[in-house]
Amino acid sequence: ALRVFLGFRKSLSESLNEFILASVLRACVQLRDIVFARQIQSFVVRSGFEIDVYVGTSLVNFYSKVGLMDDAWSAFDHLPVKNSVTWTAVIVGYSQIGSNMIALNLFDSMLKTDVRPDKFVISSAISACSSLNFIDDGKQIHGYLYRNEIELDISLNNVVLDFYTKCRKVNVASKLFETMTDSRNIVSWTTMIAGYMQNSCDTDAMELFAEMTRSGWAADAFACTSVLASCGAIFALQQGRQVHTYVVKSNLDNDEYVMNALIDMYAKCDSLADSRAVFDGMITFTYDNNTVSYNAIIQAYASEEDAVGSVKLFNKMRSMASCHPNLVTFVSLLGVSASCGEVDLGRQIHGLVVKSGEFLDLYSGTALVDLYSKCLRIADASLVFDEMEEQDIVVWNAMISGHTLNEEHEEAVKKYRGFCVSSGMKPNEFTFVALMTASTSLASLFLGTQFHCQIIKTGTKFDSHVSNALIDMYAKCGDIEEAKEIFLIEGVRDDIVCWNSMISRCAEHGHAGDALNLFEEMLTLKKKKLKPNSITFLGILSACSHAGLVESGLSYFNSMESRFEVKPDIEHYACMADLLGRAGRLSEAQNLIEHMPFEASSMIWRSFLGWCRVFGEISLGKHAAKKAMVIQPDDSGPYVLLSNIFASKGMWGDVKKLRNRMDRSGIVKEAGCSWIEIGREVHSFTSQDMTTHPHLAKSMGLPFHFANL
């Protein structure tokens, strides 16, 4: 076509027409020849063909196809008459470069003309709605198809299917897919599988993948990566292995995206050995391990909290010319540094982020805040937070939670107030869980109630985490009745976490009967499929201990493994030792401690020692103190408790020897601390402060001068 055009240019006997020029421009599209196309456009303008619908449309189509939308718009705007192809070219062009809002506005303008949109332009408009998550606009366009009796072919059906899945209307998409029984292709199957995966309908994704293969369709790489993501999301290792077998049989094991999905799936299913085997096997193919592969395997090691393995892979990655660490790599390494408490490693990774010139984005910045918070370097976390150019709700939550984790509960509340004033964002359930933790730690019912009101006012999702935090806050701040009211809210009782919290809080408040009744009620709710776990039994055994229900406690303890398949751990044995000790059955308690399948902790022996003091058991007390001192030599608790036993028996010589031993070992008893809320302000104090703190004297109803006597 170009040669013919050049021949015409040289010949004076023939004149160019609009059809020749349009054909030449179509040839330019295939060759992607921008320079020659601009020369033709100059000729078109000089020859007066610029306003011809065929030539002008060809220009619009060319510039749209090569992504030069300013030129495409200029050619489009100069056309006095525009046909369906013209509109389609410019709308599709804007859609393809991601200017979806412009594409939709143009589609709306097109509908106001006499030009009837075809399937291609409708497809682009629906795709634009998908990208913008404009569910209402997309529905209107879908309705337009039916109202104008436009036949939905396979291609258009697939676009509509994709729209509904991306706009989280997976049920609508599923119904549409069911109607496509005779008009499905591989794209239809793959779109629906990916849609299920993206909407966390992972079981549906796996079932549809199985149906697809049974129906004789050969799954492509995209379908396999989608279903592998679903397998990883719900820890379906067996199904993941089946997909892996299918991948090998279908010769898809030379596709790097599929292999990376396999690495990720095995990692999420806690099968690190399989994940590493896939990674190591990738070098047998024509491509080498790439950055994505390294990121996947490093994340696999990080999720297993294997800092050493993660760093070894990172160093190997850095030594390869074909791989370059990016922010995804650094975020994984920062995550494993945080989970393992490796602050020095985290600082080194932070330094590499700065040195690499990578921009500290939201993900890496949040990972750094999380790292420094978990490693008890809250000042460094605050510094990173303040230096971030962009802050979203996730990093604000990380900072607020960081303060609570570092026991800076007042700072957590202050940070939240700053968030409300300066961010313009809406708090979510994670924000309020952190704030409830702060209120609970401060024992401030006033603050907790305020945050509860804000949860209601902001319409925050009332999930199990929020419910549990509210129950915990009210109970620990002394209002067990309000905690019970929260527990009765519809939906709260569907989660085992809230049942456990309510049982434990009732036990702490001495409401053993309520705790045991809740447990029995939970067992009767078969429809909810609530199965007691180790936390449940900690609450039950604690309730029995506080109420002195020895036989009931023994019965529940003995039924844990036999009836409920819950293996007792060291905390359950500690509860039982406390139960027996509280009842004065010290020999049984000692026997339980010494024969449990764990090494007894200092805390267990110290608790047992406390009951020896209560019941005046000198011999058993000495034995318990000796055990506790060996396990934790610098703990003053066993010395003080044993000294109290000696003192109660008038053994002052032994008291003196014990105190001298403490002095020689440099062991000092730290003063205990209490706190009280006065005038909506929390005050901490020791016993000495009672004579010097005017607010405390007043709160006790004593004149300040009398408290000083």
pLDDT in tens, 74-128: 878 888 888 888 888 889 888 888 899 999 999 999 999 988 888 888 999 999 9
Handedness of CA 327, 270, 467, 458 (dihedral sign): positive
The answer as to whether 188 is a domain residue is no
- Sign, CA dihedral 317-318-320-323, equals positive
562 and 677 in a single domain? The answer is no
Specify whether the CB–CB gap between 576 and 541 falls below 8 A.
yes
Does 152 or 693 have the greater pLDDT score? 152
Average confidence (pLDDT) over 191-196: 96
On whether both 659 and 523 belong to a single domain, the answer is yes
Q: Does one domain contain both 640 and 709?
A: no
Please give the residue range of the domain that contains residue 628: 507-670
518 and 546 in a common domain:
yes
Q: Do 545 and 686 belong to one domain?
A: no
Winning range, highest mean pLDDT, from 65-74, 81-90, 451-460: 451-460
Q: Evaluate if residue 65 carries a pLDDT over 70.
A: yes
Note whether 647 and 700 are same-domain residues: no
Q: What is the pLDDT of residue 153?
A: 86
Q: Are residues 579 and 608 in the same domain?
A: yes
User: How many domains is the chain built from?
Assistant: 2
Side-chain-facing half-sphere of 622: CA atoms under 13 Å: 6
The contacts of residue 48 (CB under 8 Å, 6+ apart) are none
Q: What pLDDT, in 10s, does the model give residues 137-167?
A: 999 999 988 888 887 889 999 999 999 999 9
Q: Does 665 lie in the same domain as 544?
A: yes
Q: How many Cβ atoms sit within 10 Å of the Cβ of residue 132?
A: 16
With residues binned 3-state (H G I as helix, E B as strand, rest as coil), the percentages for the chain, rounded to 5, are 75, 0, 25
pLDDT tops 70 at residue 278: yes
pLDDT at 431: 95
Three-state secondary structure call for residue 382: helix
> Is 648 in the same domain as 693?
no
Is the pLDDT assigned to residue 257 strictly greater than 70?
Answer: yes
Q: Which of 75-79, 326-330, 537-541, 704-708 has the highest mean pLDDT?
A: 537-541
